Structure formats: structure tokens, C-alpha cells
Amino acid sequence: MNSTVTVVGAGIFGVCTALELLDRGHSVTLIEQFKDGDSRTTSNGITRNIRFSHGDDVWYTRSARKAKSLWRQLETRFSTQLMDKCGVAWFSHDEDGWASSSQKTLEAEGIPVERLDPSEGKKLYPSFGYADLAFILFEPDAGVLRAQKSVSTIRKEFTNCGGRYIQGRAEPNGSYLTVNGEVFNGDALVWACGPWIPNLFELSTDIKVTMQEVTFFDSTPEWNSPNVPAYSDVEDEDAFYGCGGLEGFPFKVGSDLRGPVFDPDKDDRKLSVDQLQICTDYIGKRFPALEDSIIVDRRLCQYTSTGDSNWIIAPLPGLKNQWVVGAGSGHGFKHGPILGNYVADLVEGKCDPEAKFAANDRPYLTGGWRVMYNRPHI
Ligand SMILES: Cc1cc2nc3c(=O)[nH]c(=O)nc-3n(C[C@H](O)[C@H](O)[C@H](O)COP(=O)(O)OP(=O)(O)OC[C@H]3O[C@@H](n4cnc5c(N)ncnc54)[C@H](O)[C@@H]3O)c2cc1C
């Protein structure tokens, strides 16, 4: 049955949900507080990696794989390239750790994966330091998404297809919400508000917003995507990720350890000297030819993480057909289109919410991503 749905938040979770509901024939309004491309929105990074490895978790592995097909369908629909199939390389420090679990899961799921000797990293990158590595797990079908471009393109498609888009800040008010003085109380309200969720609702699920940074190092075209794979360094004390130059930005390095706790409404967006040093040390060790490269840009962005790294996709307790969708926990972007389908199914009552995504009183189930939430902040 056609219903009226309001989606708050035009990050990747919100735009994918809004477009999917619109495609299914619902009357959808999308509300966003910022202008298109605002860097405070988590999804507006230049790039986000897409990989299928999720340790031994089959749910997320399948979700990422299905999401890739949906990203390809969106590319066809928009006649534009959103993904680079450059592969993703996992630098494993442990013969039998997280990357090994991922390898077993990927093989069982029939997803292409190769276990390489660390020295083979020299074939993947123009220069590569590997003395501390046990092996490289290479996912040839994985790659990089043009994140900001994707969000912006999906949002435009939403309005082109007849969705109503409103710029303003939505305020929850029990059974309805208001924005710019207008009341919305349709058949369903979806709050896809990223790092603003803890400021909007009191949820008992452990949720923490932290400030993260990425650094872009000057590099020659041989370091651009798709000439080099995206990467992730999976050792506990050495958690880094990044990708080759893309969208006019050069080689990217980010630390995956959780940064300082951050309130997007109250705290200054300040770059950290420590983070810069950590990334500079890392690039010298792993990609020695870039050791003396100048820093071209640094960007801030926040992770919204749960204690177990599973997202929150759940009914808001005590409210009829209101949903909270978020807590991407540093690994949500790639799943955007599949997550939009899942939320649309929930809104339509076609499936029951998964216990692992509950907003309150949920079981502790590890799976989605490495749990680094309780580590000391850097
Ligand atoms: C540095 C960094 C690197 C990452 N790397 C990867 C990666 O390689 N691969 C990957 O898959 N994922 C990655 N992620 C995670 C991924 O980016 C996030 O999981 C995803 O973007 C979260 O999307 P979202 O829609 O939940 O949140 P957001 O993108 O933050 O969107 C929430 C939106 O809601 C709006 N909003 C909030 N409150 C209101 C209100 N009251 N009224 C109106 N609007 C409101 C906000 O303005 C915002 O636009 C990374 C994250 C970061 C920070």
C-alpha cells in the first residue's frame, strides 16, 4: 500500500532509504540540515572503500557483495562511474587472525580472494615495505567508491523522480517532527542522522561518536586508483586504511583507531598533530617512496560506533513506525544501497528487525568490524 514516509538525514543511509521507498511507490520527503556536499556529513568523504571481508561474519559479507551489485546498477541508472574496481589489499600481521577468518568466509561464499606472500606487495604498489607482515589478503573484485559523488547523485535522482526535499533541521516531538515550523506525521518516520543520533534520542545501546582524520599525500599518477589497490592494515596496534589518488585527491592514509570523543553540535573541528604524525610514520614504513611527500590536504570526519560495531537499525521504543538508522561504525558506506532495501522492507512490514541492530537492550554480538571502541583514544 502506498504510504507517506519522512526520512531525516541525507547521508548515504538516508538517501538510499529515501530513493528505495520512492521507487516502491511511496510518497517520500527527505529532510537534511546542510547543503549538498557539506563536509560535516559522514558520507561526504571523497572516497570510501568497498570490500567483502568481514572476518567470519557471513551476514555482512553477503550484504557487501549484494551491495556491490546494487552499486553497479546505480551506475547504469545514472550513466556515471561511482566505483573503481582496483581491488583491496589487507596487510595481515598474523597468520591466523582476522584476515584469515575473512579468507575462509570469502572462499565459502565463492567470492574471489588471493593469499599473497608479503613480497608480492611490490607488484601491487610502486614501493612497499613488508618486513612486519605475515601475508597479504587480496580481494580483486573490491575497490573504492566515490562517496561524495554517490550521495549527491542519489539525492538528485530522488528529487528528479518526484521526491520532496527540504533543507532544515528536524526536531523530534513524540509522534511527529517539525522542520521550519512544518509538522510531519506521516505513516513512517526514519531518522538516519549519523553522529547526531545520540543528541536526538536516548538509546541504551552503547554508541560513541569520535573524530577521525584522513591525510592526502602528494603522489605521482602511478599511485592513483585503479593503478594501486585500496588497502587496510589489520594489525591491532597498526590500524590504517586508504586508497590511491581519486577525484583529484592524491594517495590517502587514515588511522582506523578511534579518535577523541566528539559532539557534532558543540565541538570544534580541529586537526590533530598526533594524527598527522601517526599517518606520516605509517606512510614511511609501508610505502617508503612516499615518505617525503608533502601533505596536500587533511580532512576531518566522525565515526559513529557501537560497542560491538553492529549498526543500529531499529524501531524507536514507544513510537509507532518510527525508525532509527545509523551507527555505521566506520564500515557502513559500502552497504548503503542494500541497507536502503532493508529499511524499506522494515517500514513496509515485510521483515522483522534483526536483534543485533536493536537500539535498546540488544545482545552483544561481534561481527561487523573489528571492535576497537574501547581502546585508548589517540
Ligand atoms: C574517515 C572515515 C572513513 C570511512 N571509511 C569507510 C570505508 O572505507 N568504507 C565504508 O564502507 N565506510 C567507511 N566509513 C563509514 C561510513 O562513511 C559511514 O558508516 C556512513 O557514511 C554513515 O552514513 P550515515 O548516513 O549514517 O551518516 P551521515 O553521512 O552523517 O548522514 C547523517 C545526515 O543526517 C543529517 N542530520 C542529522 N540530524 C539532522 C536533523 N535533526 N535534521 C536534518 N538533518 C539531520 C546530517 O546533516 C547528515 O547529513 C568511514 C567513515 C569515516 C568517518
- Indicate the range of 109-113, 155-159, 320-324 predicted with least confidence: 320-324
131 confidence band (pLDDT: 50, 70, 90): very high
User: What is the 116 CA–ligand 1 centroid distance (Å)?
Assistant: 33
- In this predicted structure, the answer to whether residue 25 has a pLDDT above a threshold of 60 is yes
Render pLDDT for 203-223 as a digit per residue (tens, 0 to 9). Answer: 988 899 999 999 999 999 999
Set of cell numbers at residue 162: 518526484
Is 45 a domain residue? yes
Peptide bond into 226 cis (omega under 30): yes
Half-sphere exposure of 267 (CA within 13 A, CB side): 18
Report if residue 29 sits inside a domain.
Answer: yes
Ligand 1 neighbourhood includes 9 CB (under 6 angstroms): yes
Q: Residue 372: what pLDDT? A: 47
Q: Is 118 in the pocket of ligand 1 (CB under 6 A)?
A: no
Closest CA to 154 of 73, 221, 40: 73
User: Can you tell me the mean pLDDT for 8-28?
Assistant: 98
pLDDT higher than threshold 70 for residue 377: no
How many Å lie between the centroid of ligand 1 and the Cα of residue 340?
Answer: 14
Sequence-distant (6+) residues with CB within 8 A of 178 are: 170, 171, 184
Q: How confident is the model at residue 8, as a pLDDT?
A: 98
The span from the CA of 101 to the CA of 97, in Å, is: 6
Question: Does residue 376 surpass a pLDDT of 50?
Answer: no
Alpha-carbon gap, residue 3 to 21, rounded angstroms: 9
Confirm or reject: Cβ of 328 under 6 Å from ligand 1: yes
Establish if 66 belongs to a structural domain: yes
What pLDDT shows up at residue 274? 87
Band the pLDDT of 369: cuts 50, 70, 90. low
Distance separating alpha carbons of residues 244 and 51, to the nearest angstrom = 15
Evaluate if residue 185 carries a pLDDT over 90.
no
For residue 49 and ligand 1, the question of a CB distance below 6 A is answered with: yes
Q: pLDDT (tens digit, 9 = 90+) per residue, 306-353?
A: 988 899 999 998 898 999 999 998 899 999 999 999 999 999 999 999
CA-to-CA distance for 200 and 212, rounded, in angstroms?
22
Indicate whether 110 pLDDT > 60: yes
Give the pLDDT of residue 258: 84
Q: How confident is the prediction for the chain on average, in pLDDT?
A: 93
Contacts of 123 (CB under 8 A, 6+ apart): none
Report pLDDT for 335.
97
Provide the pLDDT for residue 378: 32
- Which residues, listed in sequence order, are joined to residue 243 by a DSSP beta bridge? 252
Q: How far is 259 from 172, CA to CA, in rounded Å?
A: 29
Inside any domain, residue 372: no
Phi, psi of 304 (to 5 degrees): -115, 105
Range among 24-38, 90-104, 257-271 with highest mean pLDDT value: 24-38
What's the pLDDT at 375?
A: 43
In a domain, 8, yes or no: yes
pLDDT value at residue 237: 64
Do the domain assignments include residue 182? Answer: yes
Q: Which pLDDT does position 373 carry in this prediction?
A: 41
If one counts the domains in the chain, the total is 1
Which among 369, 45, 57 has a CA at the least distance from the CA of 239? 369
pLDDT at 309: 86
- Mutating to test ligand 1, I would choose from 304, 333, 339 the residue with most ligand atoms within 8 A of its C-beta, which is 333
User: How many percent of the chain have pLDDT more than 70?
Assistant: 95
* Interacting residues of 78 by C-beta distance below 8 A, sequence separation 6+: 153, 157
> Phi/psi at 205 (nearest 5 deg)?
-65, 135
Q: How far is residue 28's CA from residue 22's CA, in Å, rounded to a whole number? A: 6
Answer yes or no: is pLDDT of 55 > 80.
yes
Whether 371 maps to a domain, the answer reads no
What are φ and ψ of residue 308, in 5° steps? -110, 5
Q: Which domain holds residue 226?
A: 4-357
Residues 156-179: what's their mean pLDDT?
97
Q: What pLDDT digit, counting tens, does each position of 56-103 carry?
A: 899 999 999 999 999 999 999 999 999 999 999 999 999 998 899 999
Kindly indicate the confidence band of residue 371, based on its pLDDT and cuts at 50, 70 and 90. Answer: low
Predicted pLDDT of residue 360: 87
Q: Is the CB of 311 under 6 A from ligand 1?
A: no
* Domain containing residue 180: CATH number: 3.30.9.10
Q: Given this model, what pLDDT does residue 166 score?
A: 97
Does the beta carbon of 41 lie inside 6 Å of ligand 1?
A: yes
What number is the average pLDDT over the span 140-163? 98
Per the domain annotation, does 76 fall within a domain? Answer: yes
Joined grid coordinates for residue 212: 577521525
The response to whether residue 257 sits with its C-beta less than 6 Å from ligand 1 reads no
236 confidence band (pLDDT: 50, 70, 90): low
